């Protein structure tokens, strides 16, 4: 239990710094693709995380990003929405006899199809909120939509890559 908490604290710090110091500075497709890999932290929380903790962690994660990108409330709102979406998705996708307490929400334990549904929905939810709040208006609706979806695809690829790179033993992911 203590090891799990410690590993998640380390993952939180690592992902926020990776996002703020590396990923935010990538110049992909003239700014049309901005992967937000830091949301992997919320996706990878253990199944038995209490709902209130998921919501509070989502808010904390978003605020940490907001401090780095000087956008008060923008990432926080997206992450709180995503945390709430995660609670709904977990209920929707739950196996009949509940989640195996030894498993984690990742590709190794849950399979690719389950993971793509679960993580894909959450990433799209987060990115849509973030990109539409960022532009703050609804003209050029389709270009914003396209940017959000392209970035969501990039985030998904990075999530899968991150899991391919971390071994089965590394349970923090």
Partner 1 sequence: MRDLFRFLFRQRNNLLFLALMALSLSLLVNGNMHQRAQAISSSNAVIGQIYAWRNEASEYARLGEVNRQLAIALAAERDRKHTLLPVADSSAHAEIDSSAAQHYRFLTAQVINSTVHKERNYITLGSGSLAGIRPDMGVIGANGLVGIVRDVSPRFALVTSILGNEYRTSVQLKRSGHFGLLAWDTGDPSTASLTDVAKHVAVNAGDTVVTRGNDGIFPPGVPVGTVIAVMDDPGSPSHIIRVHLSEDLSRTAYVHVVTDLLKAERDSLEARASQP
**Is residue 47 near partner 1 by the rule CB under 8 A?**
no
**Nearest 5 degrees, angle CA 87-CA 32-CA 12?**
40
- How far is the first Cα of the chain from the last one, in angstroms, to the nearest whole number? 15
* Contact pick of 134, 153, 166, 172 for partner 1 (by CB under 8 A): 134
- Binders of partner 1 among 63-122, rule CB under 8 A? 63, 66-74, 76-77, 80-81, 83-84, 87
Distances (CA, A) of 115 to 20, 65, 73, 150, 152: 25, 25, 28, 19, 14
CB of 42 to partner 1, least distance (A): 13
Distances (CA, A) of 78 to 61, 93, 100, 142: 10, 22, 29, 20
Residue 144: other Cβ atoms inside 10 A: 17
- 35 versus 163: smaller Cβ distance to partner 1: 35
CB of 156 to partner 1, least distance (A): 20
* Contact pick of 7, 18, 47, 55 for partner 1 (by CB under 8 A): 55
Binding part of the chain for partner 1, among 35-43, 89-97, 133-141, 158-166 by CB under 8 A, reads 133-141
**Torsional sign, CA 115, 119, 96, 56:** positive
Binding part of the chain for partner 1, among 39-47, 55-63, 97-105, 154-162 by CB under 8 A, reads 55-63
CB of 128 to partner 1, least distance (A): 14
């Amino acid at each position: 239990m203590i090891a799990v908490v410690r590993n998640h604290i380390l993952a939180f710090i690592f992902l926020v710094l990776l996002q703020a110091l590396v990923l935010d500075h990538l110049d992909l497709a003239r700014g049309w693709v901005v992967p937000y890999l830091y949301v992997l932290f919320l996706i990878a929380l253990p199944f038995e995380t209490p709902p209130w903790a998921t919501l509070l962690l989502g808010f904390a994660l978003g605020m940490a990003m907001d401090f780095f990108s000087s956008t008060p409330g923008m990432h926080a709102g997206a992450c709180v929405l995503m945390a709430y979406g995660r609670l709904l998705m977990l209920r929707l996708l739950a196996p009949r006899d509940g989640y195996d307490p030894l498993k984690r929400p990742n590709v190794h334990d849950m399979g690719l199809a389950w993971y793509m549904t679960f993580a894909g929905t959450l990433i799209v939810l987060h990115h849509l909120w973030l990109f539409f709040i960022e532009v703050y208006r609804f003209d050029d609706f389709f270009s914003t939509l396209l940017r959000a979806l392209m970035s969501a695809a990039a985030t998904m690829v990075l999530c899968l890559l991150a899991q391919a790179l971390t071994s089965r033993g590394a349970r923090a992911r």
